[in-house]
Amino acid sequence: MEESTSKEKILKKIRKALIHKSELDYGTVDFDSEIYASSGEPLEILFAQQFTALNGKFAFCENENEFLTTFSSLIKENKWEQVFCLDEKIKTLLKKGDITFFDKEADFANVNVGVTTCEYLIARTGSVLISSKQESGRRLPAYANYHVVLAYSNQLVHSVKDALKEMKSKYGNNVPSLISAITGPSRTADIEKTLVQGAHGPKEIYVLLIDSPAN
């Protein structure tokens, strides 16, 4: 009986609250100001610091020729095989550097290294923003054992909010069906509380940032 009485008291209070709603003024809420303080560091440095802290691999390239030299060195050092690329601009660059790659659907199942572009680099969180509108699609960034991202300095933004604002400006109402922020290699400790990196995606993620605007 006491339980029923307590229940009735609670329901009575709920009914009263629904009938006599308090007047709250949300007009003064600031949704536009940045909630995170700026570090004062250039976006390139801030991104590199955050990205490498998350076990990402970062390299700064002055131009596209240096990108080709750096990527060739990575392939040799890591003894990478089955480099796969779908982005036409990157394929043109790789051909220029005599870097062997695959781009046929029949070779996708054997992909080891996936080379893609990105939408934006988010400096504050060290994240790589990708979307389904890119030529690499949904599969390549997640399927390859090693993910190499080619980005340009004018793709750097400070926050997720800035990145989404740029996406809205870029695509308008035709927003991509998938927008994903990659923040370091995937990690899990589900099995015996042992941390495993690359359990649900690439084992390693590389960002090669070119200090010039994308064409």
pLDDT tens per residue, range 105-145 = 999 999 999 999 999 999 999 999 999 999 998 899 989 99
1: confidence class by pLDDT, cuts 50, 70, 90? very low
- Per-chain mean pLDDT for the chain: 88
- The DSSP annotation for 155-179 comes to GEESSHHHHHHHHHHHHTT---S-E
Tell me: pLDDT of 166 over 90: yes
> Could you tell me if residue 21 is inside a domain?
no
Helix axes 64-78, 88-96, angle to 10 degrees: 80
pLDDT for the residue numbered 191: 65
Residue 154 pLDDT more than 80?
yes
Token pair recorded at residue 28: 């003064």
Residue that wins the pLDDT comparison between 121 and 14: 121
Contact by Cβ (8 Å): 144, 111: yes
Give the 3-state secondary structure of residue 201: coil
Check whether 3 has a pLDDT greater than 60.
no
Averaged pLDDT for residues 34-52: 86
The answer as to whether 205 is a domain residue is yes
Instruction: Provide the number of structural domains found in the chain.
Output: 1
Max mean pLDDT among 40-49, 148-157, 193-202 falls in 148-157
- Return the structure tokens found at 173: 């109402």
Domain that holds residue 180: 41-210
pLDDT of 27 > 70? The answer is no
Whether residue 120 lies inside any domain: the answer is yes
57/18: higher pLDDT: 57
Q: Please report the pLDDT score of residue 135 as a whole number.
A: 94
CATH code at 117?
Answer: 3.40.50.10420
